[in-house]
Structure 1
């Protein structure tokens, strides 16, 4: 199967650096480009070395995965380099993740990794290697749109990774290529077998590669021992229901593992790091209708400054596992606010809100931002306002 990267010049005179994680997707990208006649150079980043994580099934960018990337490069007959980005990855991704989590947020480190290490640092390395493009194994599409490239959802919506790429800038999009955007995962696996790649049946990588056992709290304790301070579990109506061993053990929207029996389901509604309180309540208290965003990356044609006072209709996505839903984007005092047409449950600061112009195959990504604050229903907002505005007296009880 031959692919075209929509670049000037013939493939044999076009150098493409492929970000090879050691997994099936990026390995197939290298194979497709090699078969299509491009001058392919494979680059693998060593991002961490956390002992157990380097051998865990489904990990990436460490240990066995680097070895797998080397074997694929040998099979394809392409040059391959391993770059030590461990210090940079810790500085740009792991440490901010730990700080955000300890502050009661729900960060998405995969987006930060793409935003910093992969699409900034690695992209710069590709340019220094004389590359005309950097190709990755993400399931997303980019196409020429006017004088720039635009980002779109892929053919295989079950594998859609556009949520994790909202922070990609227009300049980066011009240099990036995503050859798997027009393929399904089944087709990618079939291509891996056709290329006789040694990783053809390898399991997919996990979302958070540097968490050895899936336990975020364990990583936070190791990086920030003071983050696991005990405190109180407080009902949204003000009642103190019990104690906890640290807010890092909880996330907004959580139902199981709270450790309180009240005769009705309880959900984590808010985390108060200053007061060391986990605030719980009924499910209806979770519903969020308005999102206040920070760090917005806008990829639409209309400049944000020209968005009319009443806003514009978009589709918004607050989780990678949810489809885009109707919403309205507004700019108030220079800040982006998104009103969701249907309330979402379990939305937390630190998550991403990504904008689209549709919800199907080929829908364009209009950008996105990080959720700084979410507004619940009126009753819950009033109750939370009273709780969070209190001093820390409750935590000292």
Structure 2
């Protein structure tokens, strides 16, 4: 099965033989990036594998289903040995903490619902690691993300993966045009994950049957609150659960244990109506709850916009697009209204529930697979 490639002299789009084309492959130790490295090495490219050590090995070694942990570094090294290309491990713990983990903790403390995987791609993998790849005289950097880079009339374009189940465009909206010019995503054209595993088995890779990574890599068992309490002692101060009509319904054990849209685990049973978290009042340590209809949002303010469409972001004025406000939700029809080069208002044609500050709002072409960029939701209703 051939990987998705650009249409040029070699499969990565360079006018020279593969053996003269150096490509740095960002290797997490999982099957996806391992297959990218193995396939490119088998095609004769000058492959250099690089794995980032992002957080403490001691905790990571005991955690299954995380990327860039101790055992994953070992797995990446084994793949490199199997396919006979060099592999390096770079210590990025300080960079990762400053660029990703600290903001994650502070965002939760502010009542937002952050997406640290996007910041990791934006600030670590596609910024610092990409510069390292250039320092190694690589022609490009390849990753195991399920997304497509396609040639367009105005330069490279970002497109959703062929497999909608594996598509990772939500997590890559902040990729800049300059980064996109240097990056390659060979897996975006595969129809299913089964094809990726078949390629791994064909190359005899030791990770062919390795489970996919789960959760956020530095959050053991998905327990966000425990991590935040460790990073920010005193963050879980108790407070009150308050109905939108002003009634005090009970006490909570810390705002960081709640997210907008949450229904289960509120500890306020025995009421006649189902209640949801509709807002977090961090300053007063209050969890505001109310009926589900209060979660419905039509107008979404967005900032820190990264535009990947044609022309300047503000040139065309209001336009019809499709958007995702959560990674697990389908794209919905919307109107995009630029307010400045980095801010916009998104009007959802059909209101969405649980739109939360800290989440990404990703823009798509109304027809087809093109990713037009996106930004960060920065306040609630």
* 1:373 to 2:379 alignment: yes
How far is the alpha carbon of 1:28 from its aligned partner? 0.2
- Counterparts of 1:22-171 in structure 2, within 5 Å, are 22-49=29-56, 51-171=58-178
Distance in 2 separating the partners of 1:346 and 1:60? 28
Unmatched runs of 5 consecutive residues or more in structure 2: 4-10
The residue aligned with 1:394 is none
Checking the alignment, whether the CA contact within 8 Å between 1:102 and 1:273 is kept in structure 2 is yes
Distance in 2 separating the partners of 1:207 and 1:273? 25
Distance in 1 separating the partners of 2:359 and 2:380? 10
The residue aligned with 1:227 is 235
Distance in 2 separating the partners of 1:8 and 1:251? 51
How far is the alpha carbon of 1:232 from its aligned partner? 1.0
Distance in 2 separating the partners of 1:36 and 1:25? 17
| Selected match of 2:369 from 338, 363, 368 | 363
The residue aligned with 1:177 is 184
Distance in 2 separating the partners of 1:207 and 1:303? 36
* 1:193 to 2:193 alignment: no
| Selected match of 1:253 from 250, 261, 281 | 261
Give SS of 1:150's match: strand
How far is the alpha carbon of 1:195 from its aligned partner? 0.5
Quickly say closer, same or farther: Cα 1:298–1:229, change in 2 above 3 A: same
| Selected match of 1:263 from 254, 272, 280 | 272
Checking the alignment, whether the CA contact within 8 Å between 1:50 and 1:210 is kept in structure 2 is no
* 1:298 to 2:298 alignment: no
Checking the alignment, whether the CA contact within 8 Å between 1:53 and 1:211 is kept in structure 2 is no
* 1:273 to 2:279 alignment: no
Checking the alignment, whether the CA contact within 8 Å between 1:105 and 1:348 is kept in structure 2 is yes
Distance in 2 separating the partners of 1:10 and 1:25? 25
Q: For residues 107-135 of structure 1, give each alpha carbon's deviation from its aligned partner in whole angstroms, at most 9, with x where no partner exists.
A: 00000000000000000000000100000
Q: For residues 348-372 of structure 1, give each alpha carbon's deviation from its aligned partner in whole angstroms, at most 9, with x where no partner exists.
A: 100000000046xx51000000000
Moved over 4 A (4+): none
Count of residues paired in the alignment: 371
Q: For residues 49-85 of structure 1, give each alpha carbon's deviation from its aligned partner in whole angstroms, at most 9, with x where no partner exists.
A: 1634333221110110000000000001010000000
Quickly say closer, same or farther: Cα 1:50–1:39, change in 2 above 3 A: closer
The residue aligned with 2:362 is 354
Backbone CA RMSD of aligned residues:
1.3
Give SS of 1:81's match: strand
Bigger helix fraction: 1
Distance in 2 separating the partners of 1:94 and 1:66? 20
